[in-house]
Amino acid sequence: EIVLTQSPPTLSLSPGDRATLSCRASQSVSSHLAWYQQKPGQAPRLLIYDASNRATGIPARFSGSVSGTDFTLTISSLEPEDFAVYHCQLRSNWPPVITFGQGTRLEIK
Amino acid sequence: EVQLVESGGGLIQPGGSLTLSCAASGFSVSNNYMNWVRQAPGKGLEWVSVIYTGGSTYYSDSVKGRFTISRDNSKNTVYLQMNNVRVEDAAVYHCARAYSTYLDWFDPWGQGTLVTVSS
């Protein structure tokens, strides 16, 4: 069973700062990792798919990368609306098993 | 506009049953891979179930044998029948459309419906 570990659990930054969020897989995996943003009381929103592709309508300040089993979501310059919880997600091959990380809360410092 | 709206959540006693609904607009549920994903209070997201275009269904081990996913193409709605509900099933239940047979990613998501389990 693949485990996704997100770090840090909470990240306190200011608008304009650069945010780096990590998602580490417990074993060698494919690059089919997705990132989601979720605000309180709202549905998760797809940000990044296949580790580095921005979803439709997602601003260019959001980017994703991968190195081995380490996936990173970077927000180049935080806007006030970016403070939220971020989740990573990975899928198995077959049968379908979907794994989510425990989330990183990005809060205003 | 592509949209998913869940309903049917509420308070249920352990061992009870409940059916959740997810109404889709802007696309056809019969031509897509439709899922339920839940989030317990203060916890991360947990995938629950998928129904494929051909009707095949899969479940997480935590709900297998107790929950059933189905759809009504005429109503463009997906359902989650929850039986023998446990305290640990309490969560906000979201429906979401998946990309690809392997469920690579989910988009869009519904806002969710809250299921509370208590005696």
Residue B45 sits at the chain A interface (C-beta within 8 Å) = yes
Q: Look up tokens 């889709």; give the residue.
A: B24
Q: Which tens digits make up the pLDDT trace of A27-47?
A: 888 889 999 999 998 999 999
For A49, which of B94, B102, B105 is closest by C-beta distance?
B105
For A55, which of B43, B50, B107 is closest by C-beta distance?
B107
Q: Which tens digits make up the pLDDT trace of B69-110?
A: 999 999 999 999 999 999 999 999 999 999 988 888 999 999
Tokens representing residue A105 in the block = 């809360």
Chain B residues lying within 8 Å of A99, measured CB to CB: 47
**Half-sphere exposure for A40 (CA within 13 Å, toward CB):** 5
Contact B106 A44 (CB under 8 A): yes
For A46, which of B44, B47, B107 is closest by C-beta distance?
B107
Q: Is B88 helix (H, G, I), strand (E, B) or coil?
A: helix
Q: Taking a contact as any Cβ pair under 8 Å apart, which residues of chain A between 50 and 69 contact chain B?
A: 50, 55
Q: How far is B59 from chain A (nearest CA, A)?
A: 9
pLDDT tens by residue, chain A, 109 residues: 889 999 999 999 999 999 999 999 998 888 899 999 999 989 999 999 999 999 999 999 999 999 999 999 999 999 999 999 999 999 887 888 899 999 999 999 9
